[in-house]
Amino acid sequence: MFGVSMRTLISPSLSPFSLHLHHLPKPSLFSTVLRFSSAINNNIKSPKNSPRSAISTVKSQTTASSSSSPPQSHPLSFSPPGEIHVVVGPMFSGKTTTLLRRILAEKLTGKKIAVIKSNKDTRYCTESIVTHDGEKFPCWSLPDLSSFKERFGTDEYENRLDVIGIDEAQFFGDLYEFCREAADKEGKTVIVAGLDGDFMRRRFGSVLDLIPIADTVTKLTSRCEVCGKRASFTMRKTEEKVTELIGGAEVYMPVCRNHYVCGQSVLETARAVLDSSSTKTHDVVVASSL
């Protein structure tokens, strides 16, 4: 990764709860529900006959019975909060390298981690995520994310897994649902790396849909292969027009805005010339066959 610039578009901020509650003149349904929920979670001791003591009782009954049967989740209790961190950028901007660094940092703090990549990407190795510099880390290579929990082991997933890394996120159709469920309901930290845009600078898969539900969003840049300036876009060097086309430096290159725009017009002109010359050739062939 070189010349990488990180721009955090959304940074962790104050809890919206504290902001909203501050302005509420009298207890609202929202603040009441919030108090109930935090009482459940914290098992706060309150005076008898208050709503809190009733909730404490519910909690302690649940806890008491948990020695013989699995704990029942209370309808108002929140799961431990998870997080979603999104890392985007053009090809060769260091997305996989960043994902790897963050995953290893989490592992060093004792967290249980797992990395998933799309099985569509068969470039270097199917069993590992591999950076363009050759760094590797073992991963689950899957067709979709919904099958992960079962493959990983439901008990292991629910009770022991802390952090999930997802590489080549643009290829997963169920990305949004998986990340929302994992962070909101299952308390997982999800680190997502993927292309924000394709070679035409169109949104790619559902990576951008994660922004409203993400805690942080980082856009990385590479270096323009033509002029060496900061590169935010990926240019396809070949004629193929399909959105999904697996490849590396033989097919794609990182470019700056200027060279993306120039390159597109150069490519369009070249295609127009090729098209017209093939039409002429075709005309000649037809004419000569008459």
Ligand X SMILES: Nc1ncnc2c1ncn2[C@@H]1O[C@H](COP(=O)(O)OP(=O)(O)O)[C@@H](O)[C@H]1O
Ligand Y SMILES: Cc1cn([C@H]2C[C@H](O)[C@@H](COP(=O)(O)O)O2)c(=O)[nH]c1=O
Q: Identify what 224 binds: ligand Y, Zn ion, ligand X, none; CB under 5 to 8 Å per kind.
A: Zn ion
Is 244 a binding residue for ligand Y by CB under 6 A? The answer is yes
Task: Choose which of 24, 104, 200, 227 interacts with Zn ion (CB under 5 A).
Answer: 227
Question: Which residues, 112 to 131, sit near ligand Y by CB under 6 A?
Answer: 121, 123
Can you list the positions of beta strands (E) in 112-224? Answer: 113-118, 128-130, 136-138, 140-142, 163-167, 189-194, 216-219, 222-223
Is 93 a binding residue for ligand X by CB under 6 A? The answer is yes
Q: At 169, which amino acid appears? A: A
Task: Choose which of 105, 246, 270, 274 interacts with ligand Y (CB under 6 A).
Answer: 246
244 is annotated as an active-site residue: no
Is 1 a binding residue for ligand X by CB under 6 A? The answer is yes
Q: What separation in angstroms does the CA of 174 have from each of 163, 170, 227, 267?
A: 18, 10, 38, 34
Nearest distance from residue 168's CB to ligand Y, in Å? 6
Burial of 180 (0-12, 13-18, 19+ CB in 10 A): middle
Is residue 152 within 8 A of residue 200, CB to CB? The reply is no
* CA–CA distance, 31 with 37 (Å, rounded to integer): 10
Q: Which is nearer to Zn ion, 94 or 205 (CB)?
A: 94
Of 83, 168, 177, 225, the catalytic one is: 168
Residue 143 CB neighbour total at 10 angstroms: 12
Size of the site for ligand Y (CB under 6 A): 15
* CA–CA distance, 201 with 221 (Å, rounded to integer): 14
How many Cα neighbours within 13 Å face the side chain of 152?
25
Contacts with ligand X, residue ranges (CB under 6 A)? 1-2, 89, 91-97, 131-133, 222, 225, 249, 253-254
So which residues are the catalytic ones?
Answer: 168
Q: Using CB under 6 A, list all residues that contact ligand Y.
A: 91, 95-96, 121, 123, 195, 198-199, 234, 243-247, 252
User: Which residues would be at the binding site for Zn ion (CB under 5 A)?
Assistant: 224, 226-227, 229, 256, 259
